[in-house]
Every structure is written in C-alpha cells, then in structure tokens.
Amino acid sequence: MVASEQTLTNKQLDILSINTIRTLAIDAAQKANSGHPGAPMALAPVAYCLWQQFLRFDPKDPLWPNRDRFVLSNGHASMLLYAMLYVSGIHSVDGEGRPTGSPAVSLDDIKNFRQIGSNTPGHPEYGLTAGVETTTGPLGQGVGNSVGMAIAGKWLAARYNRPGFELFSYNVYAFCGDGDLMEGVGCEAASLAGHLRLSNLCWIYDNNRITLDGPADWSFTEDVGARFLAHGWNVLHVADANDLDALANAYNSFLRTADRPTLVIVNSHIGYGAPHKQDTNEAHGEPLGEEEARLAKKSYGWPEDAKFLVPDGVLENFQAGFGNRGQQLHAKWTKLFDNYGKQNPDLADQLRRMQHRQLPDGWDKDLPTFPADAKGLATRDSSGKVLNAVAQNVPWLMGGSADLAGSDRTRLKFEGAGDFQAGSYAGRNLHFGVREHAMGAILNGLAVSNLRPYSGTFFNFSDYMKPSVRLAALMEIPAIFIYTHDSIGLGEDGPTHQPIEQLAGLRAVPNLVLFRPADANEVVEAWKVIMKLRHRPAALVLTRQAVPTFDRSKYASAEGVARGAYVLADAPSGKPQTILMGSGSEVSLCLAAYEQLQAEGIKARVVSMPSWDIFEKQSDDYKKQVLPPEVKARVSVEQASTLGWARYVGLSGKMVGMHTFGASAPIKDLQKKFGFTTDKVVEAAREAIAQSK
C-alpha cells in the first residue's frame, strides 16, 4: 500500500511538472502577444520524460564535453526549451564558457519572452542562452546540425577514447516536426545519417498533423516511417504523447540500438488542453487568447487566473532527477579525464584546446611557399596543399565535399587522415554525397561541437548552402566554407555553373569573412587568417583555372592579405593617376593593364582586395593609404556582379564586371566576349582618368 501511494505521488509530481511547462508556455506567449504555445503544450510530456529520465546533462556546467545534446529543430516551439532550461536549473556561462552560477533562464526571462534584449527570443539562439546547443528556426537546419553533432561524437570517441577511458559516449536528441521532414535539408541529413549508421542519434518526430500553413495532409501524406526505414533508421512509434511509459520504452529502445539512428514517431495533439483550438493551426501559430488560456488551465486542474505559476516541488523534482544524475555523471567524468590526462597528456591537451577553440602550438609550421610562376596554378590547387599542411598540425580539422572530392582539392591525403564511414569513425575525410544543403547544416553541427570543420563545393552551389552559411555567421562559429570554380573562368560548363551574384550575396552576410585570393601566396595568407578565427565563419573562394604566382620581389608581399586589401603594385612616385582594383583571378589582369599603362606613361596602382570585410575593419588612415581619396580615377575588375564596387570606385570610376549570366565556351572566348582583357581594362582606366578631370 505504501509503495502504491509513493508511485501515485510520483505520478502526480510528473503531471504537475509537465503542466508547469505547459502553462509557462501559455503565459509567456500570452504576455508577449506573440509566439507558438501549441507545440510546447503538446510536447511537454515528451520533453519531460527525456530530460527527467534520460538526458545526461549537468545543469551547473552546460558545456561539459560529454553531455547529451538536445536540439529543438522545430524552433518555433522555443518556449518548450526555455521552460525546460528554467525548471531544470541550467546555469549560464560567460564569454569563455565558464559557468557563472546564475540561471540561464529565469522566471523574469520567461516573462520577457520575445522582447528586445531578452535571452528568450522567438527562436532559440546559440551563444545567447546557455543550454541552447544550436540556433534553430529555419526548419530542417536543426536536425541537420544534429547529424553533425552525432558525427562529432562518433569521431571524438574513435580518436580519443582509450581502454578504461570512455571519455565520449554522448547521444544527440532532436525534436522535429512535419516542416523539418518536408524541407530538403532534413531529408538529406537523414539519408546521410542512415548511411553512416549513427547510433548515437535520435530524432523525436512530433506527428501532430498540422503546419503553420494548415492541416499537414494538404501537402504531406507520405509514410514517414517507411521513408526512414528506407534510410536505414530504427523506427519506433508512440501512440500518445502523454504516455510517459511508452515514451520511456522508446527512449530505452534507442539506447539499446547500436547499429543505426533512431526515429521516434510521437502522435500528439497540438495545443493539448486548449479545447477550442486543438488540432488547428491557430494553436500552432499564435497565443491562445485569455479565454482559451483559462480553459486550458482548467483542463489541467490549474488555477485559471494564475500567471507564471511554478508550484512547490517542481524545481526540486528536476533537481532530484535530471540535476543529480547529470552532476554525478559529470563528477565521475572529471575524475576520469584527470587520470586520462596523466596517461595521455598530449591527447588531453588537444581536447582542452579544442574545447576553447585554441590552436595547437606550431599549427602553421611547414606551410608551403610558392615561387613566382607566370603559368602558376589554380588557387583550388594551392589551397589543397595548404589545407593538407595545416590539417597535419591541427588534428581536429576535418571535412569534405559534396560530390567533388577530386575537383575541389579538399581531400586530406596524408597518412592517417582516413575516411569517416560507418564502423570506421576515426577518419577525417567526410563524404557528403550530392547533398550541399545538408553539408552546410552538418558543418555547423560539427563546429558547435568544437571541431574545426570545412566543406567544399562549386561556388555556384553556395546558393544551396546559404541558410547554413547565414546561421554560421549568426551563431559566430568558425566553420570554413571552401568554394571552387569561382567565376565564368570555369568555361564550358556554362551559365548554370558559372557564379555571377554569389560574391555580392555572401559579402552582404554580417560576420562572414570572405576571401577571394589572387594567387597561391595569397591563399597561404588567407588560410593563416582563417585558422585564427574563433567566432566567425569564413568563405574561401577559389579558381578552377591556373592563375600566375606573382613575383613578390617585384610586387608587394602577400602578407597584406591579413588587412583585407593592400597595394600590390604602385606608381614609382607613389602618387598614381589611376587605381586598378580587383580580387581573385582578375588581379593578374589588373597587373597586365598596369604594366601597359606604365609603358604609356600613365601612373597606375594595383590594389588586391581579397577580403572587403577585413579591409573595412582597418583604420581610416590605412584605408586612405591604400585608396587615396584624391585619386578619383578608379577601375574595379571582377568576373562577377558589380554590385558593391561603387563604394570603392566612386562616381568617377569604372566597373569591369558581369551584367548578365555567362555562357558555355572555352575560357579565352568567354573573357573576350565579356570584356575581361588587358585592352578593356586599360580603356576603362583612360575613361576614368578623363572623367575624373
């Protein structure tokens, strides 16, 4: 009888805790007059069971390396996560990742949901709120990130675990909805996860049959379970999201599955407890309204007029389960890591540096230098050489390409690099297949796991990756996006593969560092800058065709790349009549025009501008030294859209660039057709000089 009463008491406490999560979501959205309470109401028991019984997470140190990861891919349900962070007592961290002892989310933070300056924004943001593992909202990105996190977990275990020292064994859980599984990035990520047999990955699919658009069956009638079985996943079903025993059985089944990822399909009723809005997109996309909120609370047995109520016993319940389990596991892990460090000091040092995004000592040793060569080599080729040199010095630098391992020079070829494949998880070469969308999302998942990831594909297909690139910049993570075939210079493949507007588009992304180096030695210097980035992603844009390697005894050192733009060649007096500027392969064209102008007695300067973003962050004095305001006759040369160059050439300047799409033809024919010749640049310089007078 006593045991029965104790069981009943525990069940009551479970229900009380679940309804606390639900009502916090209701009240936060109602106060903000904005938000999506329906999904948090429905998924509260699903999250409660996972966190309280299974999730391995120390609330006092939310960056413990072997913590389980929780990703809310359906980020519109953000109040579910914020409520969980609050009731679980997650602590905040400072800028260096050290716990502060203060709550990551307080009750006041929940009351300020979706308000200016709040750490409870409309969709979860990585780096803003401790316990948020990645920025989610654009549907499909979160589940894509979760695959990167799972890859990181497998790789860390394969590389660093030793007999008697299982440092890495964490699992990755991701909540997702219909939208995540409709978006192509989610499909791509699921396919690759199944191929890689990532048994540490569990997606929990909220099968609520509703989208913001309306009923899901307006557009989505596929058999999701059958699709995931075809992907190679373990597929489980929970008939009722409120059935804690069935949920626990599903999570335990995931933990027992050692050869594939798991999808748990959970049937739920969105807006659970809201009698008039259940199973409607109203409950999904907007606050319930005062009357509906009261009715929902009444159905939970909640005081109808209570706002932001957290009953006695709820916080203690989470501390007794979730909190104590995580703290004990973390303490045990810390002792294990201390002993590991005594036996494996070099490996332990690597892990500490990785955790803080610090580079190894001597990370830049043995970088290649390239002698002057009129024929030169493609910057994708020189980048491949630099990448392989750097990767031998930075053991956690890893990546790969989408279908282009032989074309974009991103393969690591040195002994021990290996391939990351199912059952062989220590390799550093990733094979993404023809999945650019997922590649970008997975890269971000690797980056938030503190590996240093890179990817490669044709520059034109950066469009497929744009949401992930944007999120990397927003999250301030140092992912490296390598793009080759950077202009019409790729030739016969034609306009479908020739990027025109992509440079302007990526240059517009805040916090993204874009480099388009002009020769092999600029590539080396670009990599030096990129590897030192800790809070910014980089895009490295490279040529397919060979470009000359400049004679640095005649022209300026490539070290100027570190300042974004520099004077490569100058008039003898240092006072030019005209400035020719460009990036990438067109800088050699500027140099050819410079030599011709000099021969004609026209004083010219060539400015290489591999990174506008870095140049803009230089002092005004430096910018004026490179681009003297008094020199109005300026010419920009770039085989891309001219959008953005006006800020540098001014009203009197000329822009030699692309104003249409490209064409299919050999490169020399294309350059002549679109005006990328020495004579055209010289002509533009003369016109600029005449106009400036």
Q: What is the DSSP letter of 359?
A: P
User: How far is Cα 591 from Cα 158, in angstroms, rounded to an integer?
Assistant: 50
Q: Which residues contact residue 522 at a Cβ distance below 8 angstroms, ignoring those fewer than 6 apart?
A: 379, 558, 561, 608, 610
Give the relative orientation of helices 244-256 and 38-53 as an angle to the nearest 10 degrees: 60
Distance from the first to the final alpha carbon of the chain: 100
Helix (H) or strand (E) holding 505: helix 502-507
User: How far is Cα 239 from Cα 268, in angstroms, rounded to an integer?
Assistant: 8
User: How far is Cα 181 from Cα 448, in angstroms, rounded to an integer?
Assistant: 22
User: How far is Cα 373 from Cα 382, in angstroms, rounded to an integer?
Assistant: 13
If we measure between CA atoms, which residue out of 111, 114, 101, 112 comes closest to residue 75? 114
Task: Return the biggest CA–CA distance within the chain.
Answer: 104
Find out whether 265 and 224 touch, Cβ atoms under 8 Å: yes
**Angle CA(110)–CA(247)–CA(177) in degrees, nearest 5?**
60
Q: Which tokens is 626 given?
A: 């490179």
If we measure between CA atoms, which residue out of 517, 493, 489, 492 comes closest to residue 614? 517
User: How far is Cα 460 from Cα 503, in angstroms, rounded to an integer?
Assistant: 10
Find out whether 634 and 688 touch, Cβ atoms under 8 Å: yes
From residue 450, alpha-carbon distances to 48, 352, 443 in Å are 28, 10, 11
**Angle CA(475)–CA(476)–CA(482) in degrees, nearest 5?**
105
Q: What is the DSSP letter of 421?
A: B
User: How far is Cα 407 from Cα 482, in angstroms, rounded to an integer?
Assistant: 12
If we measure between CA atoms, which residue out of 469, 448, 471, 434 comes closest to residue 138? 471
Phi, psi (deg, nearest 5) at residue 263? -110, 125
Name the catalytic one among 133, 436, 525, 638.
436
What are the counts of helices (DSSP H) followed by strands (DSSP E) for the chain?
25, 22
User: How far is Cα 466 from Cα 468, in angstroms, rounded to an integer?
Assistant: 5
Phi, psi (deg, nearest 5) at residue 482? -100, 130
Q: Which residues contact residue 260 at a Cβ distance below 8 angstroms, ignoring those fewer than 6 apart?
A: 194, 197, 198, 199, 232, 233, 234
> Is position 436 annotated as part of the catalytic site?
yes
Find out whether 484 and 456 touch, Cβ atoms under 8 Å: yes
DSSP 294-321: HHHHHHTT--TT--S---TTHHHHHIII
- Which residues are catalytic, by number? 436
